[in-house]
């Protein structure tokens, strides 16, 4: 009976020692693994952000704080931070993927979220969207719809603004501008796309602004200030 009791106590002691070794605060992070296809993020910036966490307790490391710190880096869209036994920290980083510019100093990613990197000089040729920040996703969707429609005319949008009065001001590489409001915008746009090729070529040549905000047609404003607006 005594031998059995001694054996049981020994097993308990071994188990306690194993638990202590596993969960000991002395066990620290010594290795960091970075996953993700990074194009614009600098590894040195990530290293600088993570280095204070190396050597910290495997169990006590503040993963939420590290997650927040990395999210503040330029070009980080998403990040997952996790531990792997016995000493590894794993970072899974997804970069921002800019699709258009936002105003003078911002960019929109593929989800329509605004972000502000330190330098947007390489993206000066992107389409520029502008409006209320809360409209960014809807405006990106509208840009896609409008560009698909105007592509049938061979027109390419280079800027679009959602004005406070609810009017979209759409600018094209050709220099032309289209004004369109939200009321039956699809019907007005379809009508313009059908009618434009039938308008007088001379009228189209000097056209500057196409105002589509009318229920029964559209107005063409010409470049020369002395010319009167022509309506269709």
Question: Which tens digits make up the pLDDT trace of 121-150?
Answer: 999 999 999 999 999 999 999 999 999 999
Contact in structure between 89 and 114 (CB atoms under 8 Å): no
Structure tokens at 149: 């429609």
Give the residue among 54, 42, 79 at the shortest CA–CA distance from 64: 79
Phi and psi at 160, nearest 5°, equal -150, 135
Which residue in the block uniquely carries the two structure tokens 């996953």?
35
The Cα diameter of the chain in Å comes to: 114
Percentage of the chain beyond pLDDT 90 is: 68
What pLDDT shows up at residue 133?
A: 95
- Tell me how many helices (H) and strands (E) the chain has: 6, 13
* pTM for this entry: 0.79
SS3 71: helix
Pairing assessment for the beta strands 114-115 and 106-109 based on DSSP bridges: antiparallel
Count of CB atoms within 10 A of residue 47's CB? 12
Contact in structure between 130 and 140 (CB atoms under 8 Å): no
Which of 6-20, 36-50, 76-90 is predicted with the least confidence, judged by mean pLDDT? 6-20
Contact in structure between 110 and 99 (CB atoms under 8 Å): yes
Statement: residue 226 has pLDDT above 60: no
Of 1 and 147, the structure prediction assigns the larger pLDDT to 147
pLDDT tens string 70-104: 999 989 999 999 999 889 999 999 999 999 999 99
Average pLDDT, the chain: 86
Over range 33-52, report the average pLDDT: 90
């Amino acid at each position: 009976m005594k031998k059995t009791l001694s054996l049981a106590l020994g097993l308990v002691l071994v188990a306690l020692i194993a638990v202590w070794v596993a969960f000991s605060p002395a066990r620290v992070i010594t290795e960091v693994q970075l996953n993700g296809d990074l194009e614009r993020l600098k590894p040195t910036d990530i290293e600088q952000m993570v280095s204070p966490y190396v050597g910290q307790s495997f169990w006590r490391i503040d993963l939420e704080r590290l997650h927040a710190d990395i999210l503040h880096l330029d070009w980080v869209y998403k990040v997952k931070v996790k531990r792997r036994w016995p000493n590894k920290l794993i970072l899974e980083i997804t970069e921002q993927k800019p699709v258009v510019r936002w105003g003078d100093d911002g960019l929109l990613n593929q989800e329509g979220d605004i972000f502000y990197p330190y330098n947007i000089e390489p993206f000066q040729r992107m389409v520029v969207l502008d409006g209320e920040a809360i409209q960014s996703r809807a405006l990106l969707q509208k840009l896609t719809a409008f560009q698909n429609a105007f592509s049938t005319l061979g027109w390419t949008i280079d800027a679009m603004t959602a004005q406070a009065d609810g009017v979209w001001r759409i600018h094209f590489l050709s220099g032309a501008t289209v004004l369109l409001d939200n009321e039956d915008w699809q019907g007005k746009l379809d009508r313009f796309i059908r009618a434009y090729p039938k308008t007088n070529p001379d009228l189209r040549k000097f056209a500057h602004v196409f105002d589509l905000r009318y229920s029964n047609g559209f107005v063409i404003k010409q470049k020369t200030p002395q010319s009167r607006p022509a309506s269709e």
